[in-house]
Amino acid sequence: MQEIIVDEGKIKCLITGKMRKETPEEYVRQEYCRVLLDVYKYPRSQIEVEYPIKVGSTDKRCDIVVFCDDNKSQDNILWIIETKKKDKKEGVEQLWSYMSATTAKFGTWTNGDGILYYYKDGKRSNRYDELPDVPKYKESVDSIGKYQKSDLVRCTDLKGVFKRCNNYFFSNQGLTQDKRFSEIIKILFCKIEDEKDLFTEKCVFYITPDEQHDAEGTKNARDRISSLFNKVKQRFQEDNIFEANDDIQLNDRCLCYAIAELQKYSLLDTNVDVKGMAFETFVGANLRGEHGEFFTPREIVTMATEVLMPRIDETVCDPACGSGGFLVMALKYIRNQYEELEKKRPGLNVVGLFREYADKYIRGIDFNPDLSRVAKMNMVLNDDGHTGIFHYDSLTPFKEWPNKITAKIKKGNVDIIMTNPPFGKKCVIDDKKILEHYHLGHKWEQNGNGTWVETKKVDESRTPDILFIERCLDLLKPGGRMAIVLPDGILGNNGLEYVRHYILENADVVAIIDCPVESFLPSTDTKTSLLILKKKKAAGLPQTFDAFMAIAKTCGHDRRGKEIYQRDENGNPILKDGAPIIDNDFEEITKRLVDHVKSRNIYN
């Protein structure tokens, strides 16, 4: 995958290799250059940026030009791309004027959040037909949409695809946020259903230029998608993802757009991290943080997974799973183990064994119905485990948990927990019917020896992160392992010393990693730590190994979410294989912590 590199006001051009001034327009341009190279497979030798052309007597510069071959002349242009910054809507007529003055058959306008494709039929024609897409390298217009599954490519900017669909649904159908969310979910499930049909090589999820402009053709495309959606509902009828009477509600224009945006990609083959970042956009700004729901940074998720080292016979659970980030990373870690096994035993049915593991050992709960649906789809995208995801409030007393959950998640029976519970004063638990079931829901006092003792009096309220500590320890089997992200106040405030006492009574502290304040920015500036615990065989037993402690000063990005790089004594980025090394302390700390755990045999 081509990497977009941004460094102190400069962005490296993927075509020329030169550093250019970082502007919103330049980032959109470089993102599309990446698409040209990775998706459409055009060679760099046939692409130019800021290419000068003559429009009448006027000199103009095209943002991106793709040539028919290595002959880079105005009379050999195949495709012109006009890029704008994200809030700009104009430029289509400007694109048409460039196409009219050249031999360009194809034109694309994009501002990153929206995209339009055009076709000029004839060498100097002034008619520009809208297309669902532009053909790939060495392909013709007739090939658009007529894909075999082997033709599909990984998506490098799935987040951008989702955003464009979201914006298009609003602009062309006026759908509300929740309706747009619902329709994107449906379309994605249809796409996955098509990809998972191993009996048919020809894609069913597609739209051709002829179908896009013909009422009967559009009906045929809708019929294909509706047929896929019926299969989806049948497949997931017991999972409460869709209702039996659910249907695709997109109008013809929006449906064609969504199909066109997704049809050339393989969602199943797309990188796990790319899919993970894209899924986080599903929640939208209106949900993010409203109830303490901040997505866990990938650096922390990766560290937790590699340090806990889940094995192929161990249950992994997240009782506040959100969109499933920890569980997806666990699946990735387990998949690597199966791939290593396959090298030793080439005849091993790795695919079957991996899916069996996912269904048997991956478990998640979230009280937000939208997030639990997204988590289910996240599992499906990563080759399953969706049957272990539930919509429920995991802080509810165990005796009230429904049978469908207790059949798969039992108290004291989980091997590994990885979680980032909601925290913050906006999501306080004040229901005494819940609090009375928790030791940490009661008031605590110090006795004459200075030891903290639980009283019989239930406290007025608790933030959920405190209750989640106890809930997670209750779920773990003796010797079970846990990684939990907590606000620093729990580990340092004098008024919460009883919480720390409870942790030390019930668990051995494997590690405490102080996370930089930038970790959760730009979402929230809450200072956090990652706590790694091993549940004691019996409460009160002394710890038999040293705890590992570290301070991570960098997390790979700054307060605005922009990547940061390691630098030499002169302030220049340190390069590896031609690309700057991301400045992320979690990577080195993870290596040292894994060595610490293994050398002391802590998990055995």
Which DSSP symbol is given to 430? -
Statement: residue 379 has pLDDT above 90: no
Tokens standing for residue 16: 């020329």
If one compares 478 and 126, the residue with the highest pLDDT of the two is 478
Residue 246 CA: distances (Å) to CA of 229, 237, 241, 300: 9, 11, 10, 37
pLDDT tens-place string over residues 234-244: 988 877 788 88
pLDDT at 285: 44
Statement: residue 346 has pLDDT above 90: no
Residue 80 contacts residue 65 (beta carbons within 8 Å): yes
pLDDT tens-place string over residues 541-560: 999 999 999 999 998 888 87
If one compares 425 and 82, the residue with the highest pLDDT of the two is 82
pLDDT at 286: 40
pLDDT at 582: 87
Q: Taking the domains of the chain in order of start, what are their residue ranges?
A: 6-141, 158-262, 272-517
Residue 231 CB burial class (10 angstroms; 0-12, 13-18, ≥19): middle
Give the residue carrying structure tokens 């580990």. 491
Share of the chain above pLDDT 90, in %: 59
As a whole number of angstroms, the distance between CA 236 and CA 229 comes to 10
Tokens standing for residue 6: 């941004």
CATH superfamily of 272-517: Vaccinia Virus protein VP39 (3.40.50.150)
If one compares 38 and 239, the residue with the highest pLDDT of the two is 38
Give yes or no for a cis peptide into 573 (omega within 30° of 0). no
Q: What is the dihedral of CA 372, 378, 380, 383, to 10 degrees?
A: -140
Cα–Cα nearest to 376, from 361, 367, 364: 364
Q: What is the mean pLDDT of residues 592-601?
A: 96
If one compares 137 and 215, the residue with the highest pLDDT of the two is 137
Residue 283 CA: distances (Å) to CA of 80, 87, 163, 422: 34, 21, 12, 15
As a whole number of angstroms, the distance between CA 293 and CA 333 comes to 25
If one compares 578 and 15, the residue with the highest pLDDT of the two is 15
Statement: residue 574 has pLDDT above 90: no
Give the residue carrying structure tokens 């599992």. 379
pLDDT at 425: 66
pLDDT tens-place string over residues 194-206: 998 888 899 999 9
Cα atoms in the Cβ-side hemisphere of radius 13 Å centred on 387: 16
pLDDT tens-place string over residues 124-149: 556 788 999 999 999 999 999 999 99
Q: What is the mean pLDDT of residues 29-36?
A: 92
Amino acid (one-letter) located at 333: Y
Torsion angles phi and psi, residue 133, rounded to 5: -170, 180
Q: What is the mean pLDDT of residues 299-307?
A: 95
pLDDT at 125: 58
CATH class, domain 6-141, is alpha beta
Tokens standing for residue 408: 């798969």
Q: How far apart are the first and last CA of the chain?
A: 39
pLDDT bracket for residue 292 (50, 70, 90): very low
